[in-house]
Every structure is written in C-alpha cells, then in structure tokens.
Chain A
C-alpha cells in the first residue's frame, strides 16, 4: 500500500514550548484516520505542517513522497478543512463553491450541489453572515466535494446540530466507499465517529501515545470490577492499563481478548466485566500527565 504521509522526528517548537515533539509515523493510502488527543496535544499544528501552512522546527515530513512547501503537485491533492478557516468578508457561499474547482482537481460540482441542499446552505448569503453551524457546513461541503486524495478535517462540526453531524458522517462514509481516499479526521466527539475510524493516532503533549488500527483498540478493551484479590488474580497475565482501588474493591481496565473460558471464569468468581468505548479509552489514556516514556503499548 502506498504511503501518503511520512514523518521522521518531526518537531515544532515555539520558544520553550514544544507543540509537536519528535513524531515519527506514516499514514497509508485509502484509510480513515482518527487524529485524537486533548486540546493542545499538537493535532492542529501537525495538520498545518502537513499542508505547509506552518513550518516544522526540525525533522522531515513527506506528503505523497514530496515536501509539501510551495509544492503544487502535493498541495493540489490536499483539502484541509479547519475550524479556523478564514473567508474574505465580501464572499458569498457561491463564490467559495465557484473557486473550489480551481483548487481541487477532483471537485464534483453536482455532489457539491446535493450537499448544499442537504445542509440547507443559503448560497447567496455572505459567508461572514452565516451562523457558526452553517459556517462549518461550508467547510464540510468543500471537504467532501473536493474528493481530494488527502482530505483533512480538523473539528469540522463546530456548532453543527446532531442531525447535520449525522449527515456528515453518513456522507463521509458513503462517499469514501464510492471514492476511496485518505481521510484524517481530528475530533473530540470520539464516540460519534468511532465506527468510521480505521486507524487511530492519539497525540498527547506533542507525542504519539497510540498508533494502532481502531479494530484492535475497540475489540480487546474492558474493565473488570470486583473484590481486589479476585481482580488481581484474574488480570495477572493481562495487560492492565489502569487500576483503581475502592476499599477492598478494584476496577481494572485491561487490554486483552477474552476467551470464552475466561469470561466463564470471571462470571463464576463474581467479577463484573464491562466493555470500554473508544472515547472512554482515550479519556483513560490522556487523563494522566505524560511521563515522557512515549508510546503506550496496548498489544
């Protein structure tokens, strides 16, 4: 499979503060990536560097095998939709949609028109006068209809109602299946999109905490509740990522694929097993301050 993005020791520092710290990773073609992490984890900085809107302090970053800076061959294949996208004061929605085909070569005007209807965008209105939710919709329409080989959404849903968000996820999935491309979705509403994501890149304090297929994260994570001793016995040979004690009771979060025998054993010893959602897992992993040890091993 072709590599779309390759980062080696990618670093961005602002004075003393290191927003992105020695990142090394590669993203493959034709997947939906979830770029997750708390505010200030370095997600937006990373996306700005991928699109050459910001410059790295050190390290190497290749997009489609080339450096993206001032490189039309790369830039014309990227569509980056961000929450902070600026529009000229006098531009209407129509102006934006008429310019988009010049910048995104796979632009599908017909599809854009369908989306405009679906998101109820008033195309003659000035972008500046749109509500927050409709402003987000403009970005979503451009992002989807651009069909760019690398499409990046940075929290594209701000102010969008639940219905419109559901539309967005459905459209993204449908159009992605019909027109495969690489999508990076940065979001805080993890549970809403967890079904869409194929691979998770979790950033924490500028470092990669998790870089794994979503499947392996979704499948084998659960919590075990019960008397302290039993929980400890049960989880002894498992990968425990979190442990909480409440008097004589314990609650452990474990990354492990349960066998049938093990579930039966748990039931017999009075242990309670609960599944953990992707969002809960991310909260778990990022609620502690980073100890600087880098990637958490989940496998």
Chain B
C-alpha cells in the first residue's frame, strides 16, 4: 500500500467519533431501552428485538456522509482520487472488522455469559443463528456492513458528480423501475415462484446466499463509485 493511501486511512482515523463511537452509541442506546423494557415485561418466550439493525442503518448513513465530509478536503490537499478511494475502502474494511468482531463478542456474551442479559432479551443473538459457526456469522456481519456503507457511498458519489438534479432523476428512475418490477412480480407470479425457490433452502443457506449477493453488489457499487469520482471536481 502506498503511503498516500495510508494517509487517507489516517485522515479517516482522525474522525474517531463518526467511525468508532457514534455507531455504538446508537446501537447501545437501543440496547439499553430494550434492556429496560425487557426487565419490566415478563413473558415466558422472552423479548426479541430488531435493535441490532440500527448499527447497519448507521453504516448506510456513514457511507452517504463520508464523501462530502472528506473528499473535497483530501482532493484540495493534493490527494488523488484513486488514493482517496483505496484509503476509504481500507478504512471501511477496518471498521467492518471492528464492528463485526464486537457484534460476535456481544452475541457470545448474550448466549453464554450473561444469558439473555438476565432479562430474557434477544438483542445480539437469535435462534436462527444457532446452526452458524462464529466465522460464518462474522462474514455475514462483515459483508452486510460493507454493503450498506458502499450503498451509501455510491449515493454520495452520484450527488457529488451530478448534483441535486442528478440525484432527483436517479431516484425517480429507480422508483419507476422498482414499481414496474414490483407489479410484474405480483402479476406474473414471480413472487410466489421466488418464495418456493427460496424456501427450498435452509435459513443459513439463505443468509449466506444473501451475503454473497451483497458482496457482489458492494464490488459493483464500489467500481461505479470510482468511475463517478474519477470525473468529480471540487
């Protein structure tokens, strides 16, 4: 890795709050609320929550925000677009590693150390994960974080390159395409076919399959982002 790619990683590291602290403040605030609720409610089957999703949503937002925050700064100080892209990808890798590792550790604690956080709460671990080994689960988290971040990043790139109007047109067209295929899926019975096809597989196979699709999409979005950045000006 050349030193200028490294310097971009160092630049991102300067913003510890956005990368390392705020995502966990978001997740932990959700966790605390759920803890309180779980301690007040007493149900035999326990409480299952989707609070875990908050950190993934944060990653999407992080991806959108990082470009306007750092790209003009870096480019203005003689960093090339390529080095910016590679350094940001490197930073994302580190952050995804860090977040996935903590999520795994929390899930282990919930499962074995303080079972259900003593209030029968399922926050970090769900029964469908039982058949997965830790490494498998780690990869699922890792790819999901990368995918959401890159999705946000490509949105940021479209805005950077084409501005407000470009953004508007992009989402208008996207909405039309989604609507069209949504109707088609219902009228042509694709939805039912898809459901029959998917349910042939186990839940673990479905999750792993989805992770691979997310990984492929991430690569695609990243390449598209780079193409947009190559023509972006400050």
Chain A residues close to B by CB (< 8 Å): 48, 51-55, 70-72, 75-76, 78-80, 82, 85-91, 95, 98-100, 102-104, 142, 148
- Taking a contact as CB atoms under 8 Å apart, the answer to whether B73 and A86 are in contact is yes
List 10 additional contacts besides A53-B233, A54-B234, A103-B4; criterion CB under 8 Å. A53-B75, A55-B233, A71-B80, A72-B2, A85-B72, A91-B15, A91-B73, A95-B14, A103-B78, A104-B77
Chain B residues close to A by CB (< 8 Å): 2-4, 6-7, 10-11, 14-15, 17-18, 69-70, 72-73, 75-83, 230-231, 233-234
Q: How far is the CA of A70 from the CA of B78 in the complex (A)?
A: 9
Residues of B within 8 A of A86 (CB): 72-73, 76, 234
Closest 7 interchain pairs by CB?
A102-B7, A86-B72, A75-B78, A53-B234, A95-B14, A88-B69, A54-B233
Q: In the complex, which of the residues B10, B18, B72, B75 contacts A102, with contact meaning CB atoms closer than 8 Å?
A: B10
Q: In the complex, which of the residues B3, B80, B230 contacts A75, with contact meaning CB atoms closer than 8 Å?
A: B80
> How far does the Cβ of B75 sit from chain A's closest Cβ, in whole Å?
6
Residues of B within 8 A of A87 (CB): 73
Q: How far is the CA of A90 from the CA of B12 in the complex (A)?
A: 11
**Most-contacted residue by chain A among B6, B11, B231 (CB, 10 A):** B11
Residues of A within 8 A of B4 (CB): 72, 76, 102-103
Shortest Cβ distance from A92 into B: residue: B14
Given A48-B233, A53-B233, the answer on whether A103 and B77 have CB atoms closer than 8 Å is: yes
- Taking a contact as CB atoms under 8 Å apart, the answer to whether A51 and B78 are in contact is yes
- Taking a contact as CB atoms under 8 Å apart, the answer to whether B15 and A70 are in contact is no
Q: In the complex, which of the residues A54, A103, A142, A148 contacts B79, with contact meaning CB atoms closer than 8 Å?
A: A103
Residues of A within 8 A of B7 (CB): 99, 102-103
Q: How far is the CA of A292 from the CA of B133 in the complex (A)?
A: 74
Given A80-B76, A91-B14, A99-B14, the answer on whether A70 and B81 have CB atoms closer than 8 Å is: yes
> How far does the Cβ of A50 sit from chain B's closest Cβ, in whole Å?
11
Q: How far is the CA of A53 from the CA of B7 in the complex (A)?
A: 19
Q: How far is the CA of A88 from the CA of B68 in the complex (A)?
A: 8
Q: How far is the CA of A104 from the CA of B73 in the complex (A)?
A: 14
Q: How far is the CA of A280 from the CA of B19 in the complex (A)?
A: 53
Q: How far is the CA of A78 from the CA of B76 in the complex (A)?
A: 10
- Taking a contact as CB atoms under 8 Å apart, the answer to whether A99 and B82 are in contact is no
Given A53-B234, A85-B76, A90-B18, the answer on whether A70 and B82 have CB atoms closer than 8 Å is: yes
> How far does the Cβ of B59 sit from chain A's closest Cβ, in whole Å?
18
Q: How far is the CA of A76 from the CA of B75 in the complex (A)?
A: 11
**Most-contacted residue by chain A among B2, B4, B14, B81 (CB, 10 A):** B14
- Taking a contact as CB atoms under 8 Å apart, the answer to whether A75 and B73 are in contact is no
Q: How far is the CA of A91 from the CA of B233 in the complex (A)?
A: 22
Q: In the complex, which of the residues B6, B70, B78 contacts A88, with contact meaning CB atoms closer than 8 Å?
A: B70
Given A75-B79, A82-B76, the answer on whether A102 and B234 have CB atoms closer than 8 Å is: no
- Taking a contact as CB atoms under 8 Å apart, the answer to whether B10 and A79 are in contact is no
Q: How far is the CA of A55 from the CA of B75 in the complex (A)?
A: 13
Q: How far is the CA of A22 from the CA of B169 in the complex (A)?
A: 35
Q: How far is the CA of A89 from the CA of B230 in the complex (A)?
A: 24
A–B Cβ pairs within 8 angstroms, 15 of them: A53-B234, A54-B234, A55-B233, A70-B82, A75-B78, A75-B79, A86-B73, A87-B73, A88-B69, A90-B14, A90-B15, A99-B11, A103-B7, A103-B79, A148-B78
- Taking a contact as CB atoms under 8 Å apart, the answer to whether A79 and B78 are in contact is yes
